Amino acid sequence: MRIFIDADACPVKDETYKVAARYGLKTFVVSNSFIQIPQSSMIERRIVDAGPDVADDWIAEQTQPGDICVTNDIPLADRVLKAGGAAIAPNGRPFTPDSIGSALAQRSIMEHIRSTGEITGGPPPFGPADRSRFLQALDQAVNLQRRKLR
């Protein structure tokens, strides 16, 4: 069991490191550019080439059953789920086989609306409640994935 962080715009890297350390999980911080990480043999920085979906492709190719991915990227979450992993958004929302279809559809609808020139606004500001939900969701995901691997 490992954790992959889609790190370029991830606001919960420090929280992920803490949970991973508690469970002794190897963590990969995947980005297109240098990101500072704590010195630990259990945390590995992986810098991939710049370009659309390069980090996503690397994470999806590495994901095995039991792995967990922290990402806001819905198509990446879908690929992680299909590989047998778990995916969690930084706001604590878990992506599940039951919810990923509607998330992909909603994403497609919003892309279409934006392509017409409509201003849709962005996501709500990230706050302390999101961090708390994320910590709880990541802890639950680790325990669920452990049970599945037994």
Alpha-carbon span 5 to 139, nearest angstrom: 15
pLDDT classification of 150: cutoffs 50, 70, 90: confident
Q: What is the pTM of this model?
A: 0.87
Alpha-carbon span 17 to 25, nearest angstrom: 9
pLDDT digits (tens, 9 = 90+) for 8-29: 889 999 999 999 999 999 999 9
Q: Answer for the pair 30, 58: CB distance below 8 angstroms, yes or no.
A: yes
The CATH code for residues 2-149 is 3.40.50
pLDDT value, residue 99: 84
Q: Where are the domains of the chain?
A: 2-149
Tell me the β-bridge partners of 27.
3, 43
pLDDT digits (tens, 9 = 90+) for 40-94: 999 999 999 988 889 999 999 999 999 999 999 999 999 999 999 999 999 999 9
Both structure tokens of 81: 């789920």
